[in-house]
Amino acid sequence: MKIFSYLIFLKLALALVTARAAAVKDSANSDHTEGNIARMASKLLERSHYSQRQLDDEVSGKFFDRYFEILDGQHLHFLQSDIAEFEPYRTKLDEMTEVAGDTKPAHLIFARMFERVQQRVVYVNELLKAEKFEFTGNDRYTPNRKDLPRPKTLEEARQLWRQHLRFEFLQEKLSAPEIHTAKLKDGKPIFIQKNGTNKGVDTITSNVTNSAPLTQKEALIKKITKRYANLERTLKELSDDDVFEIYMTALARVYDPHSDYMGRSQFENFNISMKLSLIGIGALLESDDGYCKIKELMAGPAMKSKKIQPGDRIVAVAQGDKEAVDVVDMKLNKVVELIRGEKGTEVRLTIWPGDAVDPSVRKVVTLIRDVIKLEDQEAKAKVIEIPNKKETVRLGIIDLPSFYADMDPAKEKERKSTTADVAKLLKKLNQEKVSGIILDLRRNGGGLLEEAVNLTGLFITNGPVVLVKDHEGEISTMSDLDSSIAYKGPLIILTSHFSASASEILAGALQDYGRALIVGDASTFGKGTVQRVLYLNTYMDQNKLPYTYEPGALKPTTAKFYRAGGSSTQLRGVIPDLKLPTVLDYAEVGEASMENPLPWDVVSSAVLQKWNLVKPHLPELQKRSDRRLQNDKEYAYIREDIELFKKTLADKSLLLNEQARQKEKKEIEARDETRKKERKARKIPEPKIFEVTLKNAGEPGLQPFVPKTNDLATAKSEHPADDPDDESALEEKVPVIDAALEESKRILLDYISLLPETDHALSKVE
């Protein structure tokens, strides 16, 4: 009977899909706007993109493959026979798109994708009713299937869908809160849950009704059923415009990962769609294989929490104390709507950390929405007093989250900018007689190129900072023309894999000049390209291509950055002088992990007046740092995490055995608890810290630093536990240790001791 009902549904679904395919074919032919947009956008890609690649059969083949990958990157839906059926398009998409303006393949291929998804949803719903979900065997599943073959037949696909469902169910079961107490209130059950990802934090569930509570299995089935309904509904709600936008984006992404096409729906909401901006928490999002992924952090609640980083995936969103909404396979703009809200309201994000060793690990981060104010993006500084042998040494730390400037022409003489703000902070740090400065760019994803050039000028006399090569091969030089120097002392630039674009220009220039010591992750992000927004209506009007609705915009990569020394920042980023170990060195982070990145190359070096402040001291600095890291407890933990992460990467499949996975999970939790207790017991000297802001930089003396956080997870519980050893209380007392910053301070102290006094004044060596 089940098989019969399944076949009936498939026939109905197939009829609906066939009807949709026929409708979109007629729609694509009835209005020439879509075809004209395709013709114009493809021609502009050829003419304007840095690579100057012609839309030929080779690009056509990559376009064909990229569209399938965007629609089904995990190779779960399309059958090999589907690809074979559409294979004749492989060498025809170039002419169909650029010459004929024929976009039918976009809609026909998507219709087949929708058909397969419907088949999967029906099959999964049958399994959710019949499957026992027992995990006692030794079967394994590979979650990341992007490099694995697609299923050959529908039967093979069904086997794959079943294994994926079992994987999902076990992941949810392992990360689900454990119900450990039941109480009664006004005759209604209240269940207290101990959340496995925030151990010790007791929360009252929303299940306060007269109905019987769901068992864990029933709750998980309900959650996963909703998830698959979301997947089907998301695809069903995509309009022809949305499908066309995905299709043309696939073409743009053949050229490089930062080129895009924005359709009319995105174009109408340009500020949000261009940056995927989440107003209220300060995060930029992207959709990645069904997950809402953190692409970048701006100054705001998410960054302040220090519990979220790029690469993390949001799997659920809750408003205040309400039940969390699963957002896996949910359309990105709907996730945005859930996260956005009024200032001062609470949102809880369930995060799957990007660097998690165990893929079932989840953490809940509670944030208070806020307006992303300009002052949140401003440069800030601290003065830290560190006892060093017989004297106390003052160090300055400048945190720079972005490169910004007020672009209002009316304020040109007194406009606000990164350079002006940092100059003000440097003046204060000089007055307070700091012996050295750390410029922290770890969370700086870039910004205005002009500001990166001007900021570099605060630390050198003058000279070239960055070379820009356009798509015609012309190279222009952007230089610092001001011979004055705002700070002449020892300088460390602290970088990470998330330091990108303008940050890489600054770090690369100061490294090429031998002016600053670069410390951080194995490399920066590696984005050395420039994009330009081309409004299609202008070009379509010029070429007399009619359109009946807003054609949107193309954002091609039009130029590349090169360091003053001639090396591109593209792909390789900036390699630090002193590398600090991190798990992220082994994660898929940065330009090199993206599809179709432009290559690294070099151009002729600009003429530099170098200061040899770093190279002579590197061997000794490396030796001292290595010795410390071998004995440093935090870096011992980091090395342990790296080995576990590498082991996970080596074995791409996961064992679907609950007992074994629970054992692994408990081992990880026990390890984390041991670390917390060790940190709590460790005697960590607390240096004096003073806060320097743009508001108080002009005032005499220094203001004590007052820590600020937007995260509520460490706030005192309204229902404190009776147990004095309760883990939530322990959480509050555990010091937060920034291992990279702490080691950078020690490196700076070494650097200061090694530099002769004459070098502190930027004495030129060559």
Q: Active site includes 501?
A: yes
| Candidates 304, 527, 555, 745; catalytic one | 527
| Candidates 256, 289, 312, 512; catalytic one | 512
Looking at 441-536, which runs of residues are DSSP E strands? 463-470, 475-480, 491-495, 517-520, 529-531, 534-535
DSSP-based three-state secondary structure for 380: strand
Scanning 238-308, the segments in alpha helix (DSSP H) are 240-255, 264-268, 270-275, 301-305
- What are the backbone dihedrals phi and psi of residue 54, each rounded to the nearest 5 degrees, phi first? -80, 145
- Neighbour count for residue 154 (Cβ, 10 Å): 15
- What are the backbone dihedrals phi and psi of residue 398, each rounded to the nearest 5 degrees, phi first? -110, 125
Q: Active site includes 484?
A: no
The answer to whether residues 589 and 310 touch, using CB atoms and an 8 Å cutoff, is yes
Short-list 135, 189, 136, CA closest to 167: 135
**Residue 683: partners with Cβ closer than 8 Å, 6 or more residues away:** none
Q: What is the DSSP letter of 326?
A: E
Token pair of 443 as six digits: 């969370």
Q: What is the DSSP letter of 217?
A: H
Scanning 31-139, the segments in alpha helix (DSSP H) are 33-48, 57-71, 80-86, 93-95, 104-130
- Neighbour count for residue 159 (Cβ, 10 Å): 12
- Computed on alpha carbons and rounded to an integer, the radius of gyration of the chain in Å comes to 28
Which DSSP helix (H) or strand (E) runs through 724?
none
Paired strand residues for 484? none
Written as one string, the DSSP assignment of 535-604 is EHHHHHHHTT---SS---EEE-EEEEEEETTSBB-TTT----SEE---GGGGSS-SGGGSSSPPPP-B-P
| Candidates 435, 501, 625, 744; catalytic one | 501
Q: What's the rounded Cα separation, in Å, for the pair 429 and 649?
A: 44
Q: What's the rounded Cα separation, in Å, for the pair 571 and 100?
A: 36
Burial class (CB in 10 A: 0-12, 13-18, 19+), 421: buried
Q: Active site includes 527?
A: yes
Which DSSP helix (H) or strand (E) runs through 14?
helix 2-30
The answer to whether residues 521 and 497 touch, using CB atoms and an 8 Å cutoff, is yes
**Residue 536: partners with Cβ closer than 8 Å, 6 or more residues away:** 37, 40, 41, 44, 551, 552, 553, 554
Catalytic residue positions, numbered: 501, 512, 527
